[in-house]
Structures are given as structure tokens and as C-alpha cells.
Amino acid sequence: MSEAPIDGSVLVVNAGSSSLKYQVLHPATEEVIADGLAEQIGESTSRIKHWYRGHEVVLEGPLADHDAAIAAVLELFAADGVDVADSGLAAVGHRVVHGGRSFFEPTLIDDAVRSEIERICPLAPLHNPANLVGIDAVTALLPAVPAVAIFDTAFFHDLPAAASTYALDAAVADEYAVRRYGFHGTSHEYVSRKVAEVLGRDLTELNQIVLHLGNGASMSAVAGGKPIDTTMGMTPLEGLVMGTRTGDIDAGVVFQLARVAGMSIDDIDTLFNKRSGLKGMCGENDFRAVLQRVEAGDESAKLAYEVYLHRLRRYIGAYMIELGRVDAIVFTAGVGENAAQVRADSLAGLAGYGIEIDADRNAIRSPDPRVISTADSKVTVLVVPTNEELAIARQAMEVVGQTP
Ligand code: AMP
């Protein structure tokens, strides 16, 4: 192939501790050119699932680290005749989980920005170090392509102080940057804007509750396009019940487990982040499996599902009060887009508040944004598939466009 087949597109990278998700797409046309996932990096069982223009390849074999994973991905492109380093790629957009107090705009990555992302790693020890490894690995192999960091916290930077401040000794909070930052911001922003588009309304007129329900889960209250509250806090541990995370929990549990059970801080961190949530309560973090077990009458799965719903409904109620008037409630991410039962159960019995789901509309499976409330429902309920890659690609492109 002699033309530049990815000319003008953006490579979006989401690096986890042992995984690397990527997509090559055109932000303007929304065309996805390539999509892939490298998993179990650092183990002998690594594999890469790589999709390029309609055909998929699976590569199995050890990948020592993220550098090896990126090199293997670039070879997969090369096998299709694409030299990624020399095909007119406009930018690389890196998802970075925590921007701390320093970053709240998409930011061109240079040495100073890289150092600052490293400095704030203690705020997100499970995420930012992995994001940095991804940045370094891609930069080493594609040094000439501008790299942009897009922060998951950015959308929530201007949360009202009442929502972002913990009731903690103010000097301690200030010294250690302890505040509520919020996460999944790229998704909450993308979805809330899409709602305005779908409804043909001005974003600034709409009050929305956005439920991002995936393996990680968060909710936000968005007034006129600006978030006024969100469920995640200093870290992505706070708020809703998640696949493996506790969500809200009394901080006193930490003292109890340390003093009485003799657990170390690292043990408790792992317990709360990896062994709790749905998985901790019933052994499953895949929501499909939880629902199947609920259906089969399994008691621990039923309780886990009830705890999950109880937390969701508590926050929906809180955000209705905070917003005063709600125009739209919108479901997104793996569970929100696919689990009709969760949508129905989370808004059941709220007709008195003007919220009514239409059972037939709710049952429709579709990749498109759609309204699932009844014609009479005062509040419009929607399902809007999120597209964080597209949002990241667009933001990366804007930054590159502004670069002199
Ligand atoms: P995400 O983190 O957005 O990729 O979402 C992952 C979660 O979505 C997992 O818990 C999946 O079990 C869940 N999920 C995906 N498809 C379905 C489905 N059809 N019904 C229920 N949950 C689903």
C-alpha cells in the first residue's frame, strides 16, 4: 500500500497496569480504522487482539512490557502495509486518569508535563503509573507524533466547592491535595453533550443525571453542561457499588481492619479496590453473571444486586434535589447500555416524580442513542452509548491544531 492509510487520524491509547487498549480513528468522520487490546502484559500468557479495517488478528505469546506490546502492535500494522510512524498520524491521545490540581485541559505532553503527571502519581497509584508507562512506550516508538494527555478528572475541575470539599481539617486537605476530583469525565461530558444533540435542545438549558455504569461506575449531576456533583472522589473508589470496588464506605472500616484484623494499608487498598463490590459480595464482577444468578434465585447475588440498586437510587434522589429540575436521566457504559433490567429497576416507582420508563422501548437493543421513557414522562430517560475514544481523539486534535 503506498498511500498513507491513517493520514490525519489519531491514535488513542488507554494503558492499564497489564493492558493496553488502542484505537486509530478519524475525529471528523468518526471512522474507526483500527482497534485493539493487548492483555496480560508482563506475563507469559499475553495476547493482542488487533482489528484493522474489518479483519481481526489474535497474537498470543509473551510480551515482557508495554514497550514490547507497542512494538508488537506496530508490527501488526506493518503486516497490513501501515508504517504508523510515517503515515501522517496527526496525534496520539493518551487517557490519563488523574490530573490532580495541575491539569484540567487536554495537554500537549513534553518533559515538564510528563514530570508533573509523575509527581501526582501518589493520588492515583493504581492508574497514573500505568498511564505514564503507556506514554513513554508510545513516545519512544513514535517520537515525531505529538502526544496529548486527556485527563479523566478534567470535566469536574470546577465542581462547586461544597461538592468537591471533604469535611476534613482544611490544612491537611490542602497540603495533601485531598479533595473530590471526580472521574470518567470524558464519558460524562461526551454523553451529556450527545443528549442535547439527540433531543435537539441547547446543552445550556438541560439539567441531566448521567449514569456511567460499567465495571467502574459513577454518576454525575450536570446543569447546563457543567457538572455540579459526581459520585467519585479523590480516587475512583468513592460512590456507587462497582464490579470490584466498594464505592462509599465508612472510613472507620479502615481503622477496624487495621487494628482488629491486622491488615496493612496495602492489603486494605487491594481489598477495597479489587476484592469488593459485586465480586466481594457474590463472587462475580461480570454483571451478566450476577443477573443470571439473580434469575436462578442465588441469595448472595440477590443481595449484591439489591445493594447495587440501593446505592444507585440513593444518588439519583440526591441529584434530583441538587438539580431542582431534571430534564434527562441517561444511562451509558457496559451495564447502562445493555442491562434493561438495571435501567428499569433503578427508576422503578418514580412516576410520582415524573419519571416513567416505557418497557418496550427499554427492551430494544441498539448501538444508537435512544429515548426509553414514555411519551408522558416529564423526565426524558435515554440510553446513550459512550465513546471515550472519539472524545479523546477530538480533544487531542484540538490541541494539535492549536500547536504553533
Ligand atoms: P464497561 O466497563 O463499560 O466495559 O462495562 C463492563 C460491564 O458491562 C461488565 O460488568 C459487563 O458484564 C457489563 N455488561 C456488558 N454487556 C451486558 C449485558 N448485556 N447485560 C448486563 N451487563 C452487561
SS3 57: strand
**Confidence at 2, pLDDT banded by 50, 70, 90:** very low
Q: Residue written as cell 496520539?
A: 92
Tell me: the pLDDT tens digits for 299-345? 999 999 999 999 999 999 999 999 999 999 999 999 999 999 999 99
Q: What is the DSSP letter of 15?
A: E
Cα(380) to ligand 1 centroid in Å equals 23
Topology of the domain comprising 10-151:
Nucleotidyltransferase; domain 5 (3.30.420)
- Write down the pTM of the prediction: 0.95
Region 374-397: mean pLDDT is: 97
Ligand 1 site residues (CB inside 6 A) read 214-215, 243, 286-288, 291, 333-335, 338-339
Active site residues: 152
Residue to mutate (ligand 1; options 241, 286, 293, 335; most atoms within 8 A of CB): 335
Per-residue confidence at 4, pLDDT binned at 50, 70, 90? Answer: low
pLDDT digits (tens, 9 = 90+) for 288-305: 999 999 999 999 999 999
Tell me which H or E stretch contains 93: strand 91-96
Provide CATH 3.30.420.40 ranges for the chain: 10-151, 201-388
Residue 382 dihedral angles phi and psi, to the nearest 5°: -130, 160
Q: Probe ligand 1: pick from 338, 341, 362, max atoms within 8 Å of CB?
A: 338
Compute, in angstroms, the gap from residue 220 CA to the centroid of ligand 1.
19
Inform me whether the pLDDT recorded for 403 exceeds 90: no
Report pLDDT digits (tens) over 243-255.
Answer: 999 999 999 999 9
Which of 215, 346, 366 to probe ligand 1 with, by most ligand atoms within 8 A of CB?
Answer: 215
Question: CATH top-level class for 201-388?
Answer: alpha beta
Closest atom of ligand 1 relative to the 278 alpha carbon: 10
Q: Which of 224, 223, 229 minimizes the C-alpha distance to 203?
A: 224
Q: From ligand 1's centre to the CA of 243, what distance in Å?
A: 10
Q: Hey, whose CA ends up nearest to atom 4 of ligand 1?
A: 334
- CB-hemisphere CA count at 13 Å for 395? 27
Ligand 1 centroid from CA 285, angstroms: 9
Alpha carbons 380 and 373: distance in angstroms, whole number: 6
Share in percent of the chain as helix, strand, coil (round to 5): 40, 20, 40
**Whole-angstrom distance, CA of residue 28 vs CA of residue 36:** 21
